[in-house]
A and B are shown apart, each in its own frame.
Chain A
Amino acid sequence: MSDTLEAKTVMKRFGGLTAVDGVSLELRPGEVHGLIGPNGSGKTTLLNLISGYYPIDEGQIRLCGQDVTRRSVRQRSKGGVARTFQTPKLVLSLPVLDNAMLGGWPDVRSGFLETAWALPRPRREETALRERAAAMLRGVGLSGVMDRRADLLEHTAQRFLEIARALTLRPKFVLLDEPAGGLTVAEIEHLGAIIGVMRDSGIGVLLVEHHTDFVFKVCDRVTALNLGRMIAHGSPTEVRNDPDVIRVYLGA
């Protein structure tokens, strides 16, 4: 019945430090949700909890009404949660197109021996995934570099490649961890347009970002964290004018 990705009063401690302290957040399809806050406020930790990279200490993660708190990263990815990383995590020895194709792994049905014998199904899947990934790469603007090895790609292009890989997964939700980091003004424009298309296509986007102007511009809702706690939540205008947010983060 529910089609959201939810974090409910999530708690995460690292030793004595409480990195995320009872934060709740609901990511809806077709909505861009911003997550802002000073360094160390727990934004990326929360993203890692939602995608499953860290086990959570208390609270619950629900994906489309199902409790996925104890599910692995892999199961959540299969369930339609894709993500990108602050420092792009690519398979650097593979070409750009192959990296994007990896996003299609959850749809691969061909078994090991079936592939070893090059039976029709792996061939069919290969063609389909190649087309899907190539379309995503053209879509995000990497059509000129599909055959280039990923390690020969500029840092900014690697960010866009990660987005293409995430989209090749045909996700319900995409979690973007500081996607605007290191991008030029023009590239941030492109990023905003891409996020807009994701929203219009019904994908729920969680945007962890330091670039607050960008967040307020592209997001439908914004959550602000400080020291692991939620200090404000609401529309971009509400959060931008919230006294606590101004005090601890935006500055006067």
Chain B
Amino acid sequence: MKHSLVRPGIVAVFTVFAALLPYITGNLYYLHVATVIGVYWVLIATLNLLVGFTGQLSVGHVGLLAIGAYAFCLLAGGQGWNPFIALLAGGGVCAVIGLLLGLPSLRLPGFYFAMATLAFGLIVSELAQAEQWLTNGSVGMPAPSFPAPFDTPWGFYWLVFGIAAFITWMTANLARFMWGRAMVALRDSTVAASSVAIPIYWTKLIVFVFSGFTAGVAGGLYATSQSYITPDAFIVNLGIYFFVAIVIGGRGVIIGPFIGAAVLAAIPELVGPLAKYGTFFYGFILLVVVLVLPGGFGELINTLVEKLRRTPQSSTHIEPDLEQLRTAIRPRA
């Protein structure tokens, strides 16, 4: 929705850096952390459309991540499907489940919708544990890897990077055209949204289904990145972390939550000896953001970008141009 060279510049530099990361660091462990950030981002990027843009507070996306992961492992592992087909199928399953979950729950007011998604996350986590015939229970199951050239750590990193970039591009497109305005409008003022004929329920539902699909895809990638999945990986806390990533990143800013995703993946891995305090740091950052930067880091960045390209604003003195108005209302055919 904004035109300037600053933002595309930042995005380009970041993209080149991320694409060349395997050359920059030879450390496989760092590469693994970067891969996990990418996997989380696949989910968080579209969850941000739902939470940040559309204002629907879902804390249960971990349930969709889990279903995507198990579907991928069962189809690509057990059934021997091509991993790429299985990845898409996992996304498809989650899109359908998102539809079934969204149909009743998106009619609820915000708080109750959040509770419904929380319940969903809890149920999935419980079923993964209990339905041993399907999930092996707490024993878990191995995750298949992708065929060459994506079977190496850097190959898989590039696969995740490519998918994440593609999804980011889609969310950015959605945000900058009319659909993005419609999402923000129904978040900020349902009265205004309905006055311009925006289909509120339908818009929420389609965003939810889209975020369900990518959560399923993220699930498959997550499974491969961990090479083995157990129900412990999909506790409801993770769903809350995703949600928090968006709050930290700044709702309604496309790349803002990337910071949240990076912090989420990096803290437990990189802080090392402090790993057991990972949740503490995450909570601490959340607290600081909520108290000091309610708009999140994304808004901070936006404000700085605005400052860089600040143009003097003329006054709000209202001086109608009636000729212009006449032709605008009744354009010559």
Given contact pairs A110-B177, A136-B328, A141 touches B252 in the complex (Cβ within 8 A): no
Contacts of A139 in B (CB 8 A): 320-322, 324-326, 328-329
From B179, B191, B199, B311, name the one whose CB has the most chain A CB atoms within 10 angstroms. B179
Asked if B182 is at the interface of the complex by the 8 Å CB criterion, the answer is: yes
Contacts of B206 in A (CB 8 A): 112
Contacts of A51 in B (CB 8 A): 195
Contacts of B226 in A (CB 8 A): none
Contacts of A201 in B (CB 8 A): 326, 329-330
B329 adjacent to A143 (CB under 8 Å): no
B125 CB → nearest A CB, Å = 30
Asked if B181 is at the interface of the complex by the 8 Å CB criterion, the answer is: yes
A91 adjacent to B328 (CB under 8 Å): no
- CB interface residues, B 195-234, toward A, < 8 Å: 195-200, 206, 210
> In whole angstroms, what is the CA distance A75 to B197 when docked?
7
- CB interface residues, A 81-139, toward B, < 8 Å: 82-83, 85, 89-95, 98, 101-106, 108, 110, 112, 115-118, 122-123, 125-126, 129, 132, 135-136, 138-139
Given contact pairs A138-B321, A157-B316, A197-B326, A101 touches B178 in the complex (Cβ within 8 A): yes
A234 CB → nearest B CB, Å = 28
B170 adjacent to A117 (CB under 8 Å): yes
> Among B171, B188, B311, B319, which residue has its beta carbon within 8 angstroms of that of A91?
B188
B318 CB → nearest A CB, Å = 4
Contacts of A115 in B (CB 8 A): 173-174, 177-179
Size of B's binding interface in residues, CB under 8 A: 45
A39 CB → nearest B CB, Å = 21
B170 adjacent to A116 (CB under 8 Å): yes
B178 adjacent to A78 (CB under 8 Å): no
B194 adjacent to A73 (CB under 8 Å): yes
Given contact pairs A89-B192, A103-B196, A145-B314, A98 touches B330 in the complex (Cβ within 8 A): no
Given contact pairs A91-B185, A92-B188, A110-B178, A141 touches B196 in the complex (Cβ within 8 A): no
Contacts of A83 in B (CB 8 A): 195
Asked if A240 is at the interface of the complex by the 8 Å CB criterion, the answer is: no
Contacts of B316 in A (CB 8 A): 142, 144-145, 153-154, 156-157
A206 CB → nearest B CB, Å = 14
Contacts of B198 in A (CB 8 A): 74, 102, 105
> In whole angstroms, what is the CA distance A78 to B191 when docked?
15
Asked if B25 is at the interface of the complex by the 8 Å CB criterion, the answer is: no
Given contact pairs A94-B184, A117-B173, A118-B173, A144 touches B317 in the complex (Cβ within 8 A): yes
Contacts of A140 in B (CB 8 A): 318, 320, 325
Main secondary structure of the interface of B (DSSP, over half): helix
Q: Which residue of chain B lies nearest to A189 when distances are taken between CB atoms in the complex? A: B320
Asked if B27 is at the interface of the complex by the 8 Å CB criterion, the answer is: no
> In whole angstroms, what is the CA distance A198 to B324 when docked?
12
Asked if A248 is at the interface of the complex by the 8 Å CB criterion, the answer is: no
> In whole angstroms, what is the CA distance A156 to B319 when docked?
12
Asked if A211 is at the interface of the complex by the 8 Å CB criterion, the answer is: no
* Cross-chain pair count, CB within 8 angstroms: 174
Q: Mark B297-333, 1 if CB is under 8 A from A, else 0.
A: 0000000000000010111111111101111111000
Given contact pairs A141-B319, A201-B330, A102 touches B192 in the complex (Cβ within 8 A): yes
Asked if A187 is at the interface of the complex by the 8 Å CB criterion, the answer is: yes
A209 CB → nearest B CB, Å = 18
> In whole angstroms, what is the CA distance A156 to B325 when docked?
19
B181 adjacent to A102 (CB under 8 Å): yes
Q: Which residue of chain B lies nearest to A96 when distances are taken between CB atoms in the complex? A: B316
Given contact pairs A93-B252, A136-B328, A197-B322, A104 touches B317 in the complex (Cβ within 8 A): no
> In whole angstroms, what is the CA distance A90 to B179 when docked?
17
A102 adjacent to B177 (CB under 8 Å): no
> In whole angstroms, what is the CA distance A122 to B328 when docked?
21
A75 CB → nearest B CB, Å = 8
Asked if A190 is at the interface of the complex by the 8 Å CB criterion, the answer is: yes
Contacts of A78 in B (CB 8 A): 197
Asked if A50 is at the interface of the complex by the 8 Å CB criterion, the answer is: no
B180 CB → nearest A CB, Å = 8
Q: Which residue of chain A lies nearest to B203 when distances are taken between CB atoms in the complex? A: A112
> Among A93, A193, A198, which residue has its beta carbon within 8 angstroms of that of B184?
A93
Asked if A200 is at the interface of the complex by the 8 Å CB criterion, the answer is: yes
Asked if B5 is at the interface of the complex by the 8 Å CB criterion, the answer is: no
Contacts of B13 in A (CB 8 A): none
B317 adjacent to A102 (CB under 8 Å): no
14 contacts between A and B (CB under 8 A): A74-B194, A74-B197, A74-B199, A77-B197, A83-B195, A89-B189, A105-B178, A112-B179, A116-B210, A135-B327, A139-B321, A144-B315, A154-B316, A187-B318
Given contacts A122-B177, A126-B177, A139-B326, 10 further A-B contacts (CB under 8 A): A53-B191, A77-B196, A91-B192, A95-B1, A102-B181, A105-B196, A105-B197, A116-B174, A190-B319, A200-B326
Query: What residues make up the interface of B, taking CB atoms closer than 8 Å to A?
Result: 1, 170-171, 173-174, 177-179, 181-182, 184-185, 188-189, 191-200, 206, 210, 252, 311, 313-322, 324-330
